[in-house]
Structure 1
Amino acid sequence: MLCEADPDWEALRDQVQLTLDEYFQGQEKRARNYSAAFSDLWAKMARTTKGGKWMRPRLVYITYSAFGGGDTRACGEMAAAFEILHAALLVHDDVIDRDFIRRGAATIGAGYRDMASTLGRNLADAEHAGFSASIIAGDLLLTGALRLATSASMGHRHNVTILETMHEAIFAAAAGELDDLLFSLGDTNAQLPEVLKMERLKTAVYSFEMPLRAGALLAGQTLETADALAAVGRDIGTAYQIIDDVLGTFGDAAETGKSIDSDLREGKRTILTTFAAEAEEFTAVVESFRGGRVDADAVRDVLRNLGAEKFAVGLAQSLVSDALDRAQDLALPALLYAELSDICDYVLMRRS
């Protein structure tokens, strides 16, 4: 994806990890005053920030450093805030999608589900226990993201705007998740523009737009520059989510770390299903799939034969091209433009 040999990034990455470790250790210690179970939950939450790609911290870093930022502590805290936000939204997303596997490993909810099962609860009640614990964990992670963002921006001349950036990331993600849920119910005839907007709100804003915006503001850039950079992130992030949909339907579960049947099972409205929605062949196979008469492979075959995969990949490529055009017009620092180009390549070529 990105050049990991950058010594400055390695140093900042260490700072982000230190910030995360200190935060979770402090909260775990504090939680002991409430109960052993609460302390254990915090220990489990700390593991949700392990093993990811760290895309969002990297975006904060490359923007902040490219514009001459030099406060390692502040950058590290802001980068850590976005990583905790990502963890929070994934924990909640697993509840929404009724998933107990994330990145090829059991989720927080899976542990509490298994505990409830061991205590004699039936499957429905055990899963409810797992999802309940996940909601609590996700809420706590959200407060952690806000807490670190507040610390990072304290005393900064853009303090209010930086915090608004984090709040917007959370606000937009919630709006996108709600639209995603409602679209899956099938009570709206969502067309491509509406689905693209949902994709952007659900992923692009918090994963690309706001980390870039926050990094620029933290480095002292104007709001105009920060917003223009966020617009670049909008197109990259939307393309990222489209490719995520492709992987969620056609990908290798061993590489993605998530069931490739999940989106189809939940009736998710994606670029793929929106493209195919008007085709009688697709409508028929989806009805058969939900009735248990065919498996998910049959749905995938129809989507592929209709050209949905090719269309989605082409749309992602177009968005990435638009993003690079926007970035070029901004006359960004050469290093920042090069990093964004690398990210665009990764978005289109990734397999997990």
Structure 2
Amino acid sequence: MTALASGAPPAEQTRTADPPGPLEAFLRDARLDDAETTALWAAMGDATRGGRRMRPALARAAYAAFGGTHTAAVEHVGDAIELLHAAFVMHDDVIDNDQVRRGRPNVAGTFTSRGLAAGAGASAAQGYGRAAGILAGDLALVAATRLVATTPAPPATVARLLTLLDDAVTESAAGELRDVRFALGVDDPSLADVLAVGELKTAAYSFCLPLCAGGILAGVDDATVASLDRLGRLLGIAFQLHDDLLGVFGDERATGKSTLSDLREGKLTVLVAHARTTAVWPRLARHVGDPDLTVAAARQARRLLESSGSRRFVEDLVHRHLDAAHAEAHRAGLPDDALAGVASLIDHRGWAA
């Protein structure tokens, strides 16, 4: 039974106690010439450990659903996609000026502390940390490309995978840049514009890439790959919308995700974009983007997002995308039970009581 076919989400099926990251074999072969390089590679390795490994699970699910039997090939590509994810995360942390990831220092945070310990001032140490984050992301991106290029598969299949990887990186970069531009506050993006950013940033590489890669490795034709791509976009948008809801209405104890950060940062999610079109926006606007937002003020913001209908609008949008994903899965030729557990990708255990 595939990860998509079972009742538990891929995150739970693949999680183990501190599994080795996909960089570890690469790290073992690296020629480390000095303490700085050694520290950078160590921080990179740490950045790939933990997490849900949802993307390899999706690749395996699609591969198995279409009759794939060469497990080594799909595991190889799954590791490549995890490295790509690590690269984007490290670059994202630099863009967002974040120093912590999963409750511990990220690459930038590790090297900022390293700079401070060496006697540098705060500004210089932060610059050192940013440089390390950029370089680590670059190295992980190259490692991901190298892994795809060395997939144990026929040359024509590897060529298709490399094109797929190139498309995913291009879309993700475009989505990230649009997201950063939205934060400038100089545009008036529509709901469709905000949805498009989620599709580019999240769906393209986290859902379309692994699903299509699994299909390609199993030998499906271009029409089926196109259908898997549509399926990935539908699932990815639903996942991002649900994640945005958890960022405001979730139970922090269950999700580990702050319910204040998105509001404090003024993150332009579909939830906020919809609220901007409603009568509550003049009262809500002062809370969105307030770096000093209190728990009480956040509670008021949630009430406004509910009374405006924005929360219900996004919840309905999640379900519409999931329904469309089920229909697309059938068009792609996936077995009837292949999406039995897909709704568990977007479960409700993380909601606040």
Q: Compute the TM-score of the two structures, normalised by the length of structure 2.
A: 0.87
Tell me the distance in 1 between the aligned counterparts of 2:249 and 2:349.
Answer: 13
Query: SS state of the match for residue 83, structure 2?
Result: helix
Task: Please state whether the residue corresponding to 1:210 is helix, strand or coil.
Answer: helix
CA distance in structure 2 between the aligned counterparts of 1:108 and 1:340, rounded to whole angstroms: 36
1:288–1:294 Cα contact (<8 Å) kept? yes
Partner of 2:325: 323
Equivalent residue in structure 2 for 1:24, among 27, 52, 72: 27
How far off is 1:242 after superposition? 0.7
Q: What is the deviation of 1:267?
A: 2.3
Q: Which runs of 5+ in 1 are unaligned?
A: none
Q: How does 1:176-325 map to 2 (within 5 A)?
A: 176-279=175-278, 281-287=280-286, 290=289, 294-295=293-294, 297=298, 298-325=300-327
- Find out whether 1:87 has 2:86 as its counterpart: yes
Q: Is the 8 A contact 1:104 1:256 kept in 2?
A: no
1:276, CA displacement in angstroms? 0.8
Is structure 2 residue 103 aligned with structure 1 residue 104?
Answer: yes
Determine if contact 1:57/1:83 at 8 Å carries over to the other structure: yes
Query: Does the residue aligned with 2:68 lie in a helix, a strand or coil?
Result: coil
d(CA) in 1 for partners of 2:123, 2:177: 24
AA at the equivalent of 2:51 = G
SS in 2 for 1:234: helix
Matched residue SS, 1:248: helix
Q: In 2, are the aligned partners of 1:97 and 1:266 still within 8 Å (CA)? A: no
Question: Which whole-Å CA distance do the structure 2 matches of 1:38 and 1:323 have between them?
Answer: 44
CA contact (8 A) 1:103 1:258 kept: no
Conserved? CA contact 1:114–1:126, under 8 Å: yes
* Residue range with higher mean Cα deviation, 278-287 or 142-151: 278-287
Displacement of 1:153: 5.8
Could you tell me which residue of structure 1 aligns to residue 62 of structure 2? 63
Do the aligned partners of residues 137 and 254 (structure 1) sit closer, same or farther apart at CA in structure 2, a change above 3 Å counting? farther
Does the residue aligned with 1:164 lie in a helix, a strand or coil?
helix
Task: From the superposition, tell whether residues 116 and 17 of structure 1 become closer, same or farther in structure 2 (CA, over 3 Å).
Answer: closer
Structure 2 match to 1:163: 162
Q: Deviations over 1:114-149 (max 9, x none)?
A: 222334444443333322211111111111111111
TM-aligned CA deviation for residue 317 of structure 1: 0.9
Q: Deviations over 1:55-112 (max 9, x none)?
A: 1001111111222222222211101011111111111112222222222222121111
RMSD: 2.8
Give runs of aligned pairs for residues 22-61 of structure 1, distance below 5 A. 22-27=25-30, 30=31, 32-33=32-33, 35-61=34-60
How far did residue 220 of structure 1 move? 1.0
What is the alpha-carbon distance in structure 2 between the residues aligned to residue 293 and residue 283 of structure 1?
18
How many residues were matched structurally? Answer: 340
| Shift in CA distance, 4/312, structure 1 to aligned 2, threshold 3 Å | closer
Gaps of at least 5 residues in structure 2 are none
Distance 1:208 1:45 in 2: 23
Kept in 1, the 8 Å contact 2:265–2:288? The answer is: no
Contact 2:7 2:344 in 1 (8 A): no
Distance change in 2, residues 1:214/1:121 (3 Å):
same
Paired with 1:263 and 1:315, the residues of 2 have a C-alpha distance of: 20
CA distance in 2, matches of 1:61, 1:351: 26
When residues 299 and 98 of structure 1 are mapped into structure 2, their CA distance, relative to the original with a 3 A threshold, is farther
Among all aligned residue pairs of Structure 1 and Structure 2, give the percentage whose two residues are the same amino acid: 35
| Partner Cα separation in structure 1 for residue 161 and residue 277 of structure 2 | 43
Question: Are the structure 2 counterparts of residues 280 and 112 from structure 1 closer, same or farther at C-alpha, using a change threshold of 3 Å?
Answer: farther
1:129 aligns with 2:128: yes
1:10-49 Cα deviation digits (max 9, x unpaired): 99x9xx958543123223xx1x13x221122112211222
Give 3-state SS (helix, strand or coil) of 2:162's partner: helix
